Structure 1
Amino acid sequence: MRHLIHLTGHHRTVTTNRVLGLLLAFNAGAVNAGGFLVAQMYTSHMTGFLSSLADNLVLGNMKLVLGAVGTLWAFMSGAGSTAILVNWARHHQLHGTYALPLLLEAILMLLFGLVGAITLGWRTPFAVPLTVLLLAYLMGLQNAVVTKMSSAQIRTTHMTGVVTDLGIEMGKMLYWNRSGTAPERYVKANRDRLRLFAGLAAMFLVGGLVGAAGFKYVGFIFVLPLALVLLTLSLPPLWADRNKLRQLLLQRRTDHQPGDASPSGPDAGP
């Protein structure tokens, strides 16, 4: 329990960032690959949608333009939701600084697993199914969690930067330092970063394999185990914050209750 609290708590270490990043990279890979099987769109990264927006603006295909705009907006809304929840938790000094957005992601994934097949047919003003917007929102929500907790050093929903950094460290590792080179000028790979980036890429790949197989053979209900993992990460710190959260809820209710009317009229006291 204590270890789970630390994974999403406000006290961050290299180890907790790495462990949470690896777990969420697996989750993103599974959701991204599985989402493609059901909606024929990758929703964990927005590069393709930005390109689609530019291309179809030139081609005049406004339906695809609307789809790209809606998906981009959903992803940014997810990231914005994380910013609101994390800053609210910090303001109130909660233990689970990063637990609330992960709890929201888990709840939405549970709903997606139960009614995802229905939402796949629901059309939206953005010319893409509600399923696509929901998946993009979830990935924006998650990516912002890891970005904020690691000060933008770890990403989990897209691998372009991860693979680039992995290649840089591999290049450093293979670099030939000539004899006689001063030690301060040696080119050395950062093996910790090398292991981190290799781990993130591997977990995203394994998650993709598991997600694709799960959606193919099990269907939407496959996301339920993924949601349970997120619940396991988010509930322990929120349980530790239960008294403070209860106080905040009571205070909010008190603030919204109408005040007692002041006495008035001839019978009123002085």
Structure 2
Amino acid sequence: MLYGNESISHYTRSNITIWMLMAFQAGVLNMGGFMACHRFVSHVTGFATFFGHEFSQKNRSQALGMLIVPLFFLFGAMVSGYLVDLRLKLHKKPKYYIAYAVMLILILLTTLGGWLGWFGPFGAFLEESRKGYLLLILLCFTCGIQNGTITSVSRSVVRTTHLTGITTDLGIGLVRLLNKQNLSKEHGELLESEHKATFMRVGIIAMFVLGSVVGGFLFPVVGFSGFLIPAFTTGILLVSMIYFQTRSPHLKSERS
């Protein structure tokens, strides 16, 4: 992924490192959104549930907000689709660095907006401060780009902004491993990759939880400044991708 190649191995060391960092980052973002305005930012199912609740309570404006906010998760996935997935399908180099640059800008805007009071006081409920919807929009947009990029890169094997799919895959994979004696005759190749996949899934879940724990300790102390943590991780990956995409051709020519 760092090199921007079309041929992406699911379980290379660099890819696994990126996936783990992204899961950690998603945990921090989710905790930040929850503590800032009491909503999870990458949980589209939760927004649908809140919409049903608010609509049934005749809170029409809040119900509309819960319907509009997750659309920005969709828009983020579409941005990623243009920059990564579509280019892969057309056998062109995916523009990972642009996707990560947009994410970095959105997270920095979130931090700056918090400092300038765009979203109201940190920790206010949406019912108290409607400004929190702008915060949710920025964070959902960011998570949509992240999830869309990682989904395309991993050929729909990995998602890092929510754990439902990963946990489902982990459960199925564990059953396969526990019954490897029955499957080994016909599915030896499948079982070999399943060990790596299980390690990866456990790692992603653990890193997401770690990010949530770090965010849980950090945000009550520093408020909106806590979003500098995901800004830092995104910035590190962005710089790494730009470096490898610009340097790898020179390194190859020097070796030849």
TM-score exceeds 0.5: yes
Q: Is the alpha carbon distance of 1:232 and 1:10 closer, same or farther for their aligned partners in structure 2, counting shifts above 3 Å? A: farther
1:199 aligns to 2:196 (yes or no): no
Q: Is the 8 A contact 2:119 2:131 kept in 1?
A: no
Per-residue CA deviations over 1:98-138 (Å, capped at 9, x if unaligned) read 12111111121122122225121399xx9852111111111
- Higher-Rg member (1/2): 1
Equivalent residue, structure 2, for 1:260: none
Report the TM-score when normalising by structure 2. Answer: 0.78
1:12 aligns to 2:14 (yes or no): no
Q: Is the alpha carbon distance of 1:19 and 1:29 closer, same or farther for their aligned partners in structure 2, counting shifts above 3 Å? A: same
Distance 2:21 2:191 in 1: 28
More helix by share: 2
Q: Is the alpha carbon distance of 1:68 and 1:182 closer, same or farther for their aligned partners in structure 2, counting shifts above 3 Å? A: closer
| Selected match of 2:160 from 153, 156, 160 | 156
Distance 2:147 2:95 in 1: 15
Q: Is the alpha carbon distance of 1:201 and 1:168 closer, same or farther for their aligned partners in structure 2, counting shifts above 3 Å? A: same
Q: Which amino acid aligns with 2:225?
A: I
| Selected match of 1:72 from 70, 74, 85 | 70
Question: Once the 2 structures are TM-superposed, how far is the Cα of residue 21 of structure 1 from its aligned partner?
Answer: 1.3
Q: Is the alpha carbon distance of 1:220 and 1:147 closer, same or farther for their aligned partners in structure 2, counting shifts above 3 Å? A: same
Distance 2:243 2:196 in 1: 33
Q: Which amino acid aligns with 2:119?
A: L
Identity %: 29
Q: CA RMSD in A?
A: 3.2
Q: SS where residue 159 of structure 2 aligns?
A: coil
Equivalent residue, structure 1, for 2:98: 100
Per-residue CA deviations over 1:209-259 (Å, capped at 9, x if unaligned) read 1112121122211222321221221134335667xxxxxxxxxxxxxxxxx
1:138 aligns to 2:135 (yes or no): no
Q: Which amino acid aligns with 1:99?
A: Y
Q: Structure 1 stretches of 5 or more lacking a match?
A: 243-270
Distance 1:175 1:92 in 2: 39
Equivalent residue, structure 2, for 1:213: 217
Distance 2:22 2:184 in 1: 41
Question: Once the 2 structures are TM-superposed, how far is the Cα of residue 19 of structure 1 from its aligned partner?
Answer: 2.2
